[in-house]
Amino acid sequence: MKLKVWAPTAKSVELVTGQRRSALAPVAGGTGDWEADVDESVLQTGYRYSLDGGEPMPDPRSRWQPEGVHGASHIIVPSDLGENPAHGAESPRDAASSRDADPSRDADPLRDAILYELHVGTFTPQGTYEAAQGRIPHLVELGITHVELMPLATFPGRRGWGYDGVDLYAPHPAYGTPRQLAAFVAACHAAGLRVLLDVVYNHLGPDGNYLGGYGPYFTDRYHTAWGAAINYDGPHSDPVRSFVIDNALMWLRDYGFDGLRLDAVHAIVSVEAVSVLEELADAVRALGAELGRRLVLIAESDLNDPRLVRPASGGGYGLDAHWEDDFHHAIHRFFTGERDGYYADFNGLADVAAALREGYVYQGQYSPHRQRRHGRPPDGVAAHQLVVAAQNHDQIGNRAQGERLSMLLSVPQLKAIAALTLLSPFVPLLFQGEEWGARTPFLYFTDHQNAELGAAVAAGRAREFSAFSWQGAVPNPQEPETFERSKLDWSELDKGLHAELYDWYRQLIRLRRNNVTQNVDQSGTPPKVKAEVAFDTDAGWLTLIHGGLLAVFNFSDKPQIVPMQEGAGQGDAGQDGAPPGGSRWRPVLCSDGSAPEIESSLPAHATRVYSRGEMLLL
């Protein structure tokens, strides 16, 4: 077996296995690579590298760190993962017939997508891939199309969100073996689910980060909020880019993931002619063509920048979609009334309507929170290129007490939020347990083995919330109880209001998949014309027409008849209008459990959904 490691400034590199040291030879051509042919039997108990006689360090491309970030590296080859899950992965189960009639659905796999974000360690009591695999039937029954796993790159200790990973090529050992991860992905595919992975390419965690000891992986020309910036555009940056792009391709090729969610790309600085994001998108498209599969890249960004999803020929990066936080912020502000921090930028029902129509609320106007202009118009951005959520790991876990909306709002409000999210023109994302109004918090938790670092993280966490008026002491991320409290309680699922809410989510998802996605055109028209929204701030109502469905929301504490005519108003103030009569709209769902009628008064805090004409119902 040939081993290779990049160490451009080293004078010597040795392979360390047990008490044995073996020299690697520099690769000709001045690439900075060192290599050696090694019998696999020598590597059975693990290996490290020593540069210039220094302390041995894990392999930067280690495929398995069973003893953690400071332990020995282990070899994993694709055959160790079982039958290659990258080949033959199926599209979502219910899309088969429509795929025959509409091949573009494979060209745009996010067009029909409903994403479900989960954290392996808290999704089940056991916190393993194997246990998560046992919950696949629940995800299928719910009706989602894509499972999105929070980061898996090995991070310090056993507990954590995964955003401080340091061994990018090695799945976190506390969740199970690499083979068990591949089995989970394969089981999802067998059930008709695609699988996405959250990856972090804007920084590495501080504990166990040995990359800087090997070469110029980092730069002091830029800084991130989480530590040293990765060197994507300075001297020796080509091998650094290859390191990251090869990592992305490994997850997609060897484990069978169908796409990646790129964490905080606004913290990736790459200013040369071809951005690392564009280069990554090109490499992923090439791998997809090789495998005969459509792979996707979804960026997290708070910039409201359409260039992320524009093709390179149009001055963009060519990514498939990006998270759009304005949708969350507008909804959260409207329903909770919170005005702290970034919620100060949002103000009531008008912003909810703007988010539903256009995705971006901020399109270049002044942001009081940022104290500067923010965003630009989403020209040319299709609806399926924006991922929206009312809840996700950030927006729950970055609250002092980790409260979900189910811990802050009433069931009628939760049902309204579910309908706004799932019937919007964009790609909806749910967070684990949201579908039944889980009452367990999702807190920030860590397990740093370095006591000084752990104390600093806990203190920094407390300072982080100074811009918010949240009550109560911030739970210590290092305490095991903080992690245990964040685990889902699956016994809630069949109980009372939890079961009612779960049934509501299932029905909304079925309506979306049977109606909304059957009516989305292929013109690439911007999202602003894909939904018709009317609202009245004073009366407290909103109507949303999209893809063959009409959703009517009464946010008032009094019953009222809401004007529901098609095309009614593009702004505030209720224009007169008659309710839809005859066969044009058919009532199909009401949040208070009553049989929905066309011309009846809408109960207080109620949501009602209508389907157009002969469209498919539940």
One-character DSSP codes across 236-247:
THHHHHHHHHHH
Q: Is 300 a catalytic residue?
A: yes
Task: Provide the 3-class DSSP secondary structure of residue 542.
Answer: strand
What are the Cα distances from residue 287, in Å, to 62, 168, 273, 296? 22, 19, 23, 11
Q: Determine contact, residues 219/80, Cβ cutoff 8 Å.
A: no
In angstroms, the CA 142 to CA 85 distance is: 24
Longest CA pairwise span in the chain (Å)? 84
Of the residues 14, 59, 108, 300, only one is catalytic, namely 300
Q: Is 521 a catalytic residue?
A: no
State which H helix or E strand residue 414 sits in: helix 411-422
In angstroms, the CA 613 to CA 580 distance is: 11
Q: Determine contact, residues 208/215, Cβ cutoff 8 Å.
A: no
In angstroms, the CA 47 to CA 254 distance is: 22
Question: 362-401 in b/e burial notation, b at 16+ Cβ within 10 A?
Answer: bbeeebebeeeebbeebebbbbbbbbbbbbbbbbbbbbbe
DSSP state, 512?
A: I
What is the Cα gyration radius of the chain?
25
Class of residue 217 by CB neighbours under 10 A (exposed 0-12, middle 13-18, buried 19+): buried
- Residue among 85, 289, 318 at smallest CA distance from 181: 85
CB neighbour list of residue 456: distance below 8 Å, 6 or more residues apart: none
Backbone angles phi, psi at 480, to 5 degrees: -55, -30
Of the residues 14, 254, 263, 358, only one is catalytic, namely 263
- Catalytically active residues, by annotation: 263, 300
